[in-house]
Amino acid sequence: MLSRKTDDQAHAARTMWNLLHAWWQLMPKDERTLVNADAAIRQARKDIDFLAVLPAQAAQAVLKTYFQAWKNCWEGRADAPNFKGRFRSVMSVDIPQGRDLNITRVHRRWGVVNIPKLGRVRFRWTKDLPVGKGANGDNRITGARLVKDALGWHIAFRVQTLGRKPEPHAGPEVGIDVGVTVPLALSDGTMYDHDEWLTGKEKAKLLRLEQRAAHRKTARKRAERTSGRLRATYDQIAGLRAKAKRRALDWQHQTTAAIARTYGTIVVEALTITNMVKSARGTIEEPGKNVAQKSGLNRAISGEAWGRTVMMLTYKAVQHGGTLHKVPAPNTSRRCSACGFITPGSRQSQAVFVCKNPRCGWSANADHNAARNVLHLYRMGLALIPAAGRAVARRARRVKPATAR
């Protein structure tokens, strides 16, 4: 019953967003103001009955989020907002007022929170929250957000804390190579690996569910609605995949936090992952080769989520006073990190590198060799300038020096 009521609020919030977007497209430009939009959603809540299940503060949060989306678009940070589909958008409800939550800790692992129009709801207590005596003007809860995924509804609290600027990290420099066989290899020889995200029984269950879903889908007649049993199978598949994603996120958070705490300067490759996972199928005139092997490699690369790992390393390095730099990626896995030469045949496999230069002969793990090359490129001064830095550099070059009078 509680989940059904939360679903109704989320659908009402999505409908409110779509009504705002339709209103925005119909109104003249000079009348697209926050005041007029507020009057429009107030009238909509009176005219459409099911919108009343959404609390008034949550409706105001939808309005502010919509206008912020347009602001982000105008400033070039995001695309223009669009309609939200029923099955393509994430179901969520915003609770903008922290004083309405009334959070109480009832157990070491559980707490109770007050959700408007839902009542008292129990949640899992995973992090310390500034409640009771620990809450003050600098450390307090300013709001929350209910989000639904394949595993159910979850609550995320917005916490305002007074942080201090971290001291510069005095740790060593390190180069990192990302891969499929070894997810993270460091230039000092450290390797970070993980097990499969799903156990053997869970993988077998996922295979059975996918086969069952495929069988029921082929048995369905054309233009026939999806049956309840097929939807239940899809929900079970989504639950297992969500569980795997949650385990992957947990591993990435713990690993990147450990690296950010240990090293002051982190260097990674500037990879274009979208190009790396392109299909090798080719065209009818020029069919591709090793299509199945390339598809398996693409799935492995997507499963490791290298871009998300770099994103986590970026902000966690800043939190600990460190820095993250990117260097060009070409030939980092083919070049010998001992002599600096690229000799054909040195990369013998995904795990072994043996330099074929007669004067060298250095051998090591292939990922360790690539990580050493990544760090060496940074020490040579070949770190790439971020996009914002390049724009500033271009403007600086265009400015002529002032002449003395």
pLDDT in tens, the chain (405 residues): 678 889 899 999 999 999 999 999 999 988 888 899 999 888 888 888 888 888 889 999 999 999 999 999 998 888 899 999 887 788 999 988 888 888 888 888 899 999 888 889 999 988 888 887 767 777 888 889 999 988 889 999 998 888 788 888 888 999 998 888 888 989 888 899 898 899 999 999 999 999 999 988 887 777 778 788 888 999 899 999 999 999 999 999 999 999 999 999 999 988 887 877 777 777 666 677 777 777 877 788 788 888 899 999 999 999 899 999 998 888 888 888 888 888 787 777 777 888 888 888 778 888 888 888 889 888 888 777 664 444 434 443 443 333 333
**DSSP per residue over 375-396, as a string?**
HHHHHTT-PPPPHHHHHHHHHH
Distance CA 39, CA 133 (A): 40
For residue 85, what pLDDT is reported?
A: 87
Q: Which single residue is written with the structure tokens 């003395």?
A: 404
Tokens of 57: 């503060």
Which one-letter amino acid corresponds to residue 15?
A: T
- Using CA atoms, how far apart are residues 92 and 113, in angstroms rounded to an integer? 17
Note the pLDDT of residue 211: 93
Other Cβ atoms less than 10 A from the Cβ of 107: the count is 10
- Looking at residue 188, the DSSP 8-state letter turns out to be T
Q: What is the pLDDT of residue 206?
A: 93
Structure tokens given for 203: 């993988």
* DSSP assignment of 242-307: HHHHHHHHHHHHHHHHHHHHH-SEEEEE---HHHHT----B-SSSB-SSHHHHHHHHHHHHHHTHH
Q: Nearest CA to 370 among 336, 328, 326, 323? A: 336
CB 321 within 8 A of CB 167: yes
pTM for the whole thing?
0.79
Are the beta carbons of 130 and 136 closer than 8 angstroms? yes
Number of H helices, E strands in the chain: 10, 13
Give the angle 245-249-250 at the CA atoms, nearest 5°. 120
Q: Where are the domains of the chain?
A: 2-94, 166-195+249-393
Question: Regarding beta strands 119-124 and 110-115, do their DSSP bridges make them parallel or antiparallel, or are they unpaired?
Answer: antiparallel
